[in-house]
Amino acid sequence: MSFRPDPSRYSQMKYRRTGNSGLLLPELSLGLWHNFGSDHSFSSQRAVLRRAFELGITHFDLANNYGPPYGSAEENFGKHFSKDFRNFRDELVISTKAGYDMWEGPYGNWGSRKYLLASLDQSLTRMGLDYVDIFYSHRFDPETPLEETMGALATAATSGRALYVGISNYDPTQTEKAKQILDSMGVPLLIHQPKYSMFVRTPEKGLFDTLGRLGVGSIVFSPLAQGLLTDRYLDGTTPKDSRISKAKHLTEDKITSEYLTAAKRLNEIAANRGQSLAQLAISWVLRQPAVTSCLIGASSVEQLEQNHQAIAGNPLSAVELQEIDTIAVDGLV
Ligand code: NDP
């Protein structure tokens, strides 16, 4: 194994406790939803993962269907793990999820015990791991008894395939119920993974309070609104190598005049603080005490390094926060 990470890596990151648990997570975690499928070179993936680890980013987040094609992000991660990170397994928190469409037929989607446990076994095989640190139910399934979905998570934990369990995209009432059921099975609910950014503020309407009361942590996804809270699209065009040009979950119709006005004003606030817009977006998410970790994506080492510098940014002042509140309206994009 040729990878010899910088020994000073742990001085470059701050770590926060995940709810009431014993697990600390880095303020910045790296997600492999995009940029780790067959459409990105193995060498650029490797460079981003290595640099992340050297910056103290100890948590990599995956899901069964990340790619494209589905499963390829886990497969690629497995290769990187085997080449670079096997000796560092105990320094890493690796998560995966099941809940969205993964394979054909009635057993490859949603929240049944049949799907979740088969999917977890497949994920472990693709990544070449004995266990994941966190296994998530990726979304609430209205058609499956919650007892069954939580029972599958509990089995994942008690069978040793996952150290901790989490839920993603559950509303406050569903979260409360999930926690109750897991408690009755003797398995703690570690963490929730909701979408949260200056443009998507839904968790402020009850979820963060619920998580605080229950002692459950939160790791928030798409804090840069998939790139809309960066300088990527500020001039109103879409660069050829950007997510809008290459992927299906972010489309050009998001670049409205309302978006551009808001993003430019936020960019000015960032510049007055000596930050980029991406750094401001990260500082803003991390100001929220209910947030354990900010789960970013990065298509290059440069983006990753820029985003990492947000950790050293000054806290936002009351005046800055007030100004941001007038611009960062929920549902703007
Ligand atoms: P972000 O909001 O952080 O968007 C990341 C994208 O923004 C990058 O791929 C890049 O896109 C662009 N970007 C990042 N940094 C910069 C920068 N400094 N300057 C310019 N552009 C930048 O997060 P994601 O939407 O990628 O989500 C992060 C993770 O959250 C996922 O990988 C996944 O693990 C998790 N997730 C979970 C979901 C769930 O349902 N639980 C759903 C979605 C995500 P570009 O290609 O344009 O360079």
All structural domains of the chain, each given as residue ranges with its CATH number in brackets, are: 25-193 (3.20.20.100)
pLDDT in tens, 112-167: 999 999 999 999 999 999 999 999 999 999 999 999 999 999 999 999 999 999 99
Banded model confidence at residue 1, pLDDT cuts 50, 70, 90: low
- Stretch 211-232: mean pLDDT, rounded? 98
- Stretch 250-265: mean pLDDT, rounded? 95
Residue 321 and residue 41 in contact, taking contact as beta carbons nearer than 8 Å: no
Q: Which atom, in ligand 1's list, is nearest to the CA of 296?
A: 3
* Mean pLDDT computed over every residue of the chain: 97
Residues with Cβ within 8 Å of 168's Cβ and at least 6 positions away in sequence, in order, are 97, 99, 136, 137, 138, 139, 192, 193, 194, 221
Residue 201 and residue 330 in contact, taking contact as beta carbons nearer than 8 Å: yes
The preferred substitution site among 29, 61, 226 for testing ligand 1, maximizing ligand atoms within 8 Å of CB, is: 226
Q: Does residue 2 surpass a pLDDT of 90?
A: no
Banded model confidence at residue 58, pLDDT cuts 50, 70, 90: very high
- Stretch 27-46: mean pLDDT, rounded? 97
Range 58-77 burial, b when 16+ CB lie within 10 A, else e = bbbbbbbbbbeebbbbbbbb
Answer whether 0.95 is exceeded by the pTM. yes
Q: Which residues line ligand 1 (CB under 6 A)?
A: 31-35, 61, 138, 168-169, 193, 221-227, 230-232, 242-243, 278, 295-299, 303, 306-307
User: What pLDDT does residue 125 have?
Assistant: 98
Q: Which two tokens stand for residue 194?
A: 């909701």
User: What pLDDT does residue 221 have?
Assistant: 98
Percent of the chain clearing pLDDT 90 (strictly above): 96
Q: Which atom, in ligand 1's list, is nearest to the CA of 225?
A: 2
Across 1-5, 16-20, 170-174, least confident range: 1-5
Q: Which two tokens stand for residue 168?
A: 């993603």
- Stretch 240-255: mean pLDDT, rounded? 92
Q: Which atom, in ligand 1's list, is nearest to the CA of 303?
A: 18
For atom 14 of ligand 1, the residue with the nearest CA is 298
